[in-house]
Amino acid sequence: IHPEYGVFTTADFIQKCRYIVKGPVFVASDNHEAIEMMRKDYEIVTFDCLIREVDETFTHYGTWIKYAYNRQMWEEAMIDMIALSRAKELICRTSNLSNAAILFSNTITKIHRL
């Protein structure tokens, strides 16, 4: 949802993973479709968020606006961020959740940006 930084899909993440991933992958996503696409190619671990879009076709900030005052959304985002911060390598795009994971991490040794 940040077209000014480029438009990427789950397929772009999967393509990047092919060159990097050698084991299980933690997937932090705001939609179920992306998780299922990743599950086809990789052994994945994910936090089972209750607030998540069905697919990656949304083109606006609807989910975030809809749940902006919902404590659960922020708690789930924080859990995803903490889990990401424990990774050794991180594949990400422009995202404050990814940026926070990097800042709070003492384990991330390599960042792969899309």
Please state the φ and ψ torsions of residue 24, each to the nearest 5 degrees: -60, 150
Q: How many whole angstroms separate alpha carbon 99 and alpha carbon 75?
A: 17
Give the Cα separation of 29 and 33 in Å (integer): 9
> Which residues are within 8 A (CB) of 26 and not within 5 positions of it... i.e. 6 or more apart?
44, 45, 46, 83, 84, 87
Q: How far apart are CA 96 and CA 112, in angstroms?
A: 15
User: pLDDT (tens digit, 9 = 90+) per residue, 104-114?
Assistant: 999 999 999 98
pLDDT 10s digits, 73-94 = 899 999 999 999 999 999 998 8
Give the mean model confidence (pLDDT) for residues 34-40: 91
pTM for the structure as a whole: 0.80
Alpha-carbon separation of residue 22 from 42, 47, 73 (angstroms): 9, 20, 31
